[in-house]
């Protein structure tokens, strides 16, 4: 069975639409565990809702949801996102392959009103909780660590999958509507506090996941956060220590260069200046 863990914190305005997208799923054998810090009046739905009202950080919300879940497959959902109607059926069929432990599907970016803005083919395999589905059994050995996690849960679940035996599937199917607005994570990744919190969580995770794949991936995340703090807030960062780190550095630099230039947030002149400042 599939358990959908839906989290909502201080935000009610999109919740009906999220639940409606679950109501429209083409299968019925799933449960929804809603973790929020507020009471909510539900409409009648065809699926079972276990609503837990509590305070806490993001990690404690997810810990409680997983602890309460009955399914062997866990899907995550942010309250402002939507699922395409075939998502649960599609993932149910994929997880029939017992070797698969983690699936990341592609998102369609929509605006506040749910109108499609664009599709993004190249996204990291830990982008957005609403794009992640995972076997419950591989979470259990790391479950208690979730209580101390206050940012980066998507990276947490991908990192633990890298340390687990099984197949990770980066799927090209578009199954999630990702709502982009001024109060979700993607819009605050230029926020200094958020970047510092994400950096601290990545450094916390690298101590937990004792395997080479996770170590390499988390080191990349740490470098990315430090580089962003340098680009946006003039933080001091150490130069790469070896050839491999220089390769990662320039890959990340080119990614941010493209991202910020396309978005119009920074100019070509600014990026050249920052690059010269780093090496001089």
Distance in angstroms (rounded) separating the CA atoms of residues 20 and 205 = 35
**Tens-place pLDDT, residues 145-174:** 999 998 889 999 999 999 999 999 999 999
Domains in the chain, CATH or no CATH each: 1-185 (3.90.550.10), 189-280 (no CATH)
Q: What is the pLDDT of residue 186?
A: 46
**Tens-place pLDDT, residues 202-229:** 999 999 998 999 999 999 999 988 988 9
**Tens-place pLDDT, residues 104-151:** 999 999 988 877 777 877 789 999 999 999 999 999 999 999 999 988
Q: What is the pLDDT of residue 153?
A: 94
Residue 224, C-beta contacts closer than 8 angstroms, at least 6 positions apart = 252
Q: What is the pTM of this model?
A: 0.88
3-state secondary structure of 150: coil
Rounded to 5 degrees, φ, ψ at 171 are -85, 140
| CA 154 to chain CA centroid, nearest Å | 3
**Tens-place pLDDT, residues 8-27:** 998 889 999 999 999 999 99
């Amino acid at each position: 069975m599939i358990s959908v863990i839906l989290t909502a914190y201080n935000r009610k305005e999109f919740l009906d639409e999220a639940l409606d997208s679950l109501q429209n799923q083409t299968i019925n054998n799933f449960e929804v565990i809603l973790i929020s810090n507020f009471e909510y009046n539900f409409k009648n739905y065809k699926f079972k809702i276990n609503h837990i009202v509590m305070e806490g950080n993001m990690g404690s919300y997810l810990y409680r949801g997983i602890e309460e879940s009955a399914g062997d497959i866990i899907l995550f959902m942010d309250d402002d996102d939507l699922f395409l109607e075939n998502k649960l059926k599609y993932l149910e069929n994929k997880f029939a392959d017992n070797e698969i432990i983690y699936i990341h599907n592609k998102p369609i970016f929509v605006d506040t009103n749910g109108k499609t803005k664009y599709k993004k083919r190249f996204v990291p395999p830990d982008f957005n909780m609403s794009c992640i589905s995972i076997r419950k059994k591989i979470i259990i050995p790391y479950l208690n660590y979730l209580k101390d996690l206050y940012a980066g849960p998507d990276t947490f679940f991908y990192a633990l999958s890298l340390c687990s035996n099984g197949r990770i599937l980066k799927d090209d199917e578009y199954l999630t509507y990702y709502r982009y607005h001024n109060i979700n994570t993607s819009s605050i990744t230029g926020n200094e506090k958020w970047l510092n919190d994400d950096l601290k969580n990545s450094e916390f995770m690298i101590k937990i996941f004792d395997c080479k794949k996770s170590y390499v991936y988390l080191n990349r995340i740490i470098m990315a956060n430090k580089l962003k703090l340098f680009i946006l807030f003039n933080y001091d960062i150490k130069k790469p220590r070896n050839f491999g780190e220089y390769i990662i550095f320039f890959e990340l630099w080119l990614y941010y260069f493209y991202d910020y230039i396309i978005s119009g947030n920074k100019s070509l002149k600014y990026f050249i200046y920052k690059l010269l400042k780093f090496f001089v």
